[in-house]
Amino acid sequence: MPHNPYTPPAAPVADAAAPARGEPPFAVRIASKLLWVGLGIAVLTQLLTLHELQRNPFMGLTVSAMVISLAVNAWLFVKIRQGRNWARIVYLVLMLISSPMLFITVRSIFARSVFEGAMVTAELTVNIVALYLVFVPGRAWYRSSAPT
């Protein structure tokens, strides 16, 4: 049989398998724990404000929004720990959107309750530190191969 120069090669062709990402680095593990601590503080803070919501005619809607917010944050924290780059970016955007309002209202929160104001400040601080850890020392891990 004569050799046809236009015949495609017979070699098997496949995409190269991406190497496994491995365990998250120390900074990402600490950030993950801090995010969960911040979520715990947020739950406690929101539970403390429930007594004020009794006068709110939209209490059901407000509580629903709180629960959805906490659930979305928890889901993002799981994805951040799994190495999903989009999750840390989404969480950063959410923090950038919500933090200015929190900075504006923190004075009134402290006026209402020093304990609640301290908790809100602690939550914000913990979240900022966690974001620093996943974006600065942890960035190389998020940019490495896709997670398995």
Identify the pLDDT of residue 101.
Answer: 84
For the chain, give every domain's residue range: 26-143
Chain segment 37-89, per-residue pLDDT in tens:
999 999 998 888 777 767 777 778 878 888 999 999 999 999 999 999 999 99
User: CA of 93: how far to CAs of 57, 97, 100, in Å?
Assistant: 30, 6, 12
Per-residue tokens: 70: 């906490």
* Helical H segments across 1-147, by residue range: 26-48, 50-53, 59-81, 85-112, 114-135, 139-143
Please tell me whether residue 7 adopts helix, strand or coil conformation. coil
Q: Between these two residues, 129 and 9, which has the higher pLDDT value?
A: 129
Identify the pLDDT of residue 20.
Answer: 63
Q: Between these two residues, 54 and 95, which has the higher pLDDT value?
A: 95
Percentage with pLDDT > 90 across the chain: 50
